[in-house]
């Protein structure tokens, strides 16, 4: 039997997340971080103190001990208030699943409690300047030299690159034939205070400016053998498993952005008058609002179904995760586009929140796999399916 209602405990989490966001994500802070491209450290600390960022991490490490549904709830509610601040607050543990499922006990005990308490921030470095969707074709190399790995390479668009305490870095650890490149990649813990690590903040982003994004340079960075995460050569498979999970997280972000944009649109059209009446009286506006609300509800159902599968099967469904991320991102962009259109010229001014929502929404169609990649995953699954 499929249940589309939250439990009482989940409703409590939803309300708490919404109350925190509405209180702390002030318009003044949102505009300051957006205009100055500023990372909101104090806000991130407040969020960590209440455990919202670690709601799905195991209690033994200091996390909330909940599951993916609760994680999606927090992301949706935060994103509905302000997408940029939401992302900054919830990404200090970005990539932790790789540590959790494949790290050694020593690695987990050293880092995950610090992440849960807010005493550490992490990131994950996969993308390179000439390597985006084709993740297996990275150029970064790690060479074993005695008891240390020596890492050289450049990573691009890395979340938390300039604020993290450590980064999970992908690097090639063996030479293989091009067709076997998926078996050449490994993950390493790279502490950001190591010699040779350099992070340069990327400025001028279209949106999510409160979230730190950087280019990372690794020049003869030495890490001990114990910093290898999991098995050598299994990094690509760890990455794909992570994306199957994180795409549902991005889908929840898209749902939240769409929900927040629709709220702004409804509030505005009820106030704005044209030809002597509120523009909410116009049938074409009513029809469009109805269409958007229906699409948001469809995206939400797909997103939470994808999260529920992780609980039912103990692992994500790649096809369902890709569907959710692609569709929710598309709905977020469409809803923000129409919401800004309803605002008219005012929507084009950054004084109005819909302006930032519009700019923030687009990233949901790009990171964690572009919408074209999501469609490829869905299609490949369909073509091997028995109907």
Question: Which positions are catalytic?
Answer: 368
CA-CA distance, 222 to 219, in Å (whole number)?
Answer: 9
What residues are paired with 190 via a beta bridge?
167
Backbone angles phi, psi at 358, to 5 degrees: -60, -45
- Please name which of 25, 12, 9 lies closest in space to residue 84, comparing C-alpha atoms: 25
| CA 104 to mean position of chain CA atoms | 25
> 364, 333 in Cβ contact below 8 A?
yes
Helix (H) or strand (E) holding 216: strand 213-224
First to last CA, the chain: 22
In this structure, the strands spanning 122-125 and 213-224 are unpaired
In this structure, the strands spanning 273-274 and 148-159 are unpaired
CA-CA distance, 42 to 378, in Å (whole number)?
Answer: 40
> 227, 48 in Cβ contact below 8 A?
no
């Amino acid at each position: 039997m499929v249940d589309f209602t939250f439990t009482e405990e989940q409703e409590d989490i939803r309300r708490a997340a919404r109350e925190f966001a509405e209180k702390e994500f002030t318009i003044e802070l949102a505009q300051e971080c957006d205009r100055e491209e500023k990372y909101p450290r104090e806000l991130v600390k407040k969020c960590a103190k209440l455990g919202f960022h670690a709601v799905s991490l195991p209690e033994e490490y200091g996390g909330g001990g909940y599951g993916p549904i609760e994680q999606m709830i927090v992301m949706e509610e935060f994103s509905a208030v302000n997408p940029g601040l939401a992302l900054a607050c919830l990404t200090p543990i970005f990539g932790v699943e790789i540590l959790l499922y494949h790290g050694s006990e020593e690695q987990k005990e050293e880092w995950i409690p610090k992440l849960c308490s807010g005493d550490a921030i992490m990131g994950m470095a996969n993308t390179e300047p000439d390597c985006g969707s084709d993740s297996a074709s990275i150029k970064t190399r790690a060479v074993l030299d005695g008891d240390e790995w020596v890492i050289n390479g450049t990573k691009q668009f890395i979340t938390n690159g300039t604020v993290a305490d450590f980064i999970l870095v992908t690097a090639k650890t063996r030479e293989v034939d091009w067709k076997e490149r998926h078996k050449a990649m490994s993950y390493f813990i790279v502490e950001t205070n190591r010699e040779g690590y350099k992070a340069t903040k990327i400025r001028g982003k279209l949106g999510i400016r409160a979230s730190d994004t950087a280019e990372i340079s690794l020049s003869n960075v030495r890490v001990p053998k114990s910093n290898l995460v999991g098995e050598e050569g299994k990094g690509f498979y760890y990455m794909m498993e992570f994306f199957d999970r994180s795409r549902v997280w991005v889908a929840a972000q898209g749902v939240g952005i769409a929900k927040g944009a629709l709220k702004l649109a409804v509030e505005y059209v009820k106030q704005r008058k044209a030809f002597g009446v509120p523009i909410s009286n116009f049938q074409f506006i009513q029809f469009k609002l109805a269409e958007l609300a229906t699409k948001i509800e469809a995206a939400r159902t797909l997103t939470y179904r994808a999260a529920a599968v992780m609980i039912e099967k103990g692992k994500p469904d790649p096809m369902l995760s890709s569907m959710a991320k692609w569709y929710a991102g598309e709905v977020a962009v469409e809803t923000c586009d129409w919401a800004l259109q309803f605002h008219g010229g005012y929507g084009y001014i950054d004084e109005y929140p819909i302006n930032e929502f519009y700019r923030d929404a687009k990233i949901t169609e790009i990171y964690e796999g572009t919408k074209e990649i999501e469609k490829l995953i869905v299609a490949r699954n369909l073509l091997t399916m028995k109907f």
